[in-house]
Structure 1
Amino acid sequence: MKRTTEQDSLYNNLEKMSVSELLQGINNEDKTVPSAVEKAIPQIEQLVNEVTRKMKTGGRLFYIGAGTSGRLGIVDASECPPTYGVPHDWVIGIIAGGDGAIRKAVEFAEDDQEQAWKDLQQYNINEKDVLVGIAASGSTPYVIGGIKKANEAGVTTGCVVCNAGSPLASVAQYPVEVVVGPEFVTGSTRMKAGTAQKLVLNMISTSVMIQLGRVKGNKMFDMQLTNHKLVSRAVNMVMEATGADEQTAQKLLDQYGNVREAVDNAPKKDY
């Protein structure tokens, strides 16, 4: 039976459509993605709870994937340090073919069942960690091979796939299956499947970081102040949290370097 991600598009003769028709068709398909993600929330919750448990005891979160899936994992991992002020080795994304594959596809890199585990050895992955394999098809050899080896090594494993009953989901301990149906362009899983994976990864990392105490109220109290926009946001956060005026808030940030420390060390008179 043909995998859902490979089934023919519900639309045909795309080259004969007007731009408006193309955009409407793509948008109509995109609207189905959040509801597919919603159905997977119980699975996502189990994975988040396990990742949180492991990271609270010093473990790390790894993502592995090929192509679009690998890139999405790297994006999610790379955004955790600036957003939540965590070390760069807390969440790690690895793509088949190495970092060069982020920009340019590496032929047949995803077909090597042994390479993912070799790549993970550079980080001394161990039983304290969690490895999440990302693959729209759920059949990528690179990812399946890495998950199997991780299971053998006592590493907790999860996955994010877009086909039901996939080989990857069958070997991952905490599978997340988001079945979004055929793509607008047949087989182009960078579209709905990629969108679904991005949403799920957002949910995983955000929920985990909140559980780890990296958010206060609804604010990113530990974000890195790497540009003027973020500095301005931080000043407002300090003002809101302490009652300080803008000048005092800026001085506190200059002195302590981040919102959390600035708020914690603000003079009592500023409240």
Structure 2
Amino acid sequence: MRGCQMGMRVEAHDLVMTYGDVRAVDGISFTVEPGEFFGLLGPNGAGKTTTLEILEGLRRPDGGRALVDGSDPGRRDPKILGRMGVQLQASAFFEKLTAREQLDTFGALYDAPRTRTDELLELVGLRESGAIQADKLSGGQKQRLAIACALVNDPDLVFLDEPTAALDPQARRNLWDVLAQLNDSGRTVVLTTHYMDEAEILCDRVAIVDRGKVLAIDSPAALVRGLDVPVQISLAPGALAPEQAAALPGVDSAELEQSAVRLSTRRPTAVLTALAERDALEGLSVRGATLEDVFLDLTGREYRA
């Protein structure tokens, strides 16, 4: 791979996309700065994939404007497209070609050196699977191959649509390292994901979208700080009785849950100090707000199709 490089600026200006009576994208706007790692989060049907496809130049919006480094990606300018890498939510391969042959074929389209295939197989953990035909790969292996194909041209901008779907926890964590390295080298990365922990760890900023609109946009930490929810402290079973715990300074409520006591507080320092004085710190756990709490607060908890 190249060393440090310049990422590309991505702009969405009042994007609108309609399918029949459904307004899948309803005035979405945001800007991704060069070298930024940006996430689009939202429930199923929120408009994430459609927005990404507009930015990739795969769909023409009904309204608004998309720009990549100041150019309309829908014009399919080879100078812009050649600097972009795209991993789609559903990828199709030449079924009888091996993983190595797939990458050789994609690389030939960009005049990439043959050594690029070996680099990418190593990068996504498929070095031992290079001789396996695409139709014999597991779902997780196909997902990793799709990501490798998106990187074959050593792009300055990478679009990833749910890149870690179907991956086991180990492969998912390893891929996080790969994506972080891509971004650290100066590339712009834009991804959609349903994993809130993934977005918290990887993204500089996220946009939470629902029903085709942006509900909030900021860094994960800033979004979490803006959510006014109490800290939950769970005590080890038998550490304190519920009535004793409820009387501690700073405790808003105390409930017995499966033999353990759960405290709710907006003054965790005062509560932890009081617990330390009573030698009740062993085995406790503390849980503050997370990006998942922000997501559920903004989008609700009902099931989506």
TM-score for both structures, normalised by structure 2: 0.28
More strand by share: 2
TM-score for both structures, normalised by structure 1: 0.31
More helix by share: 1
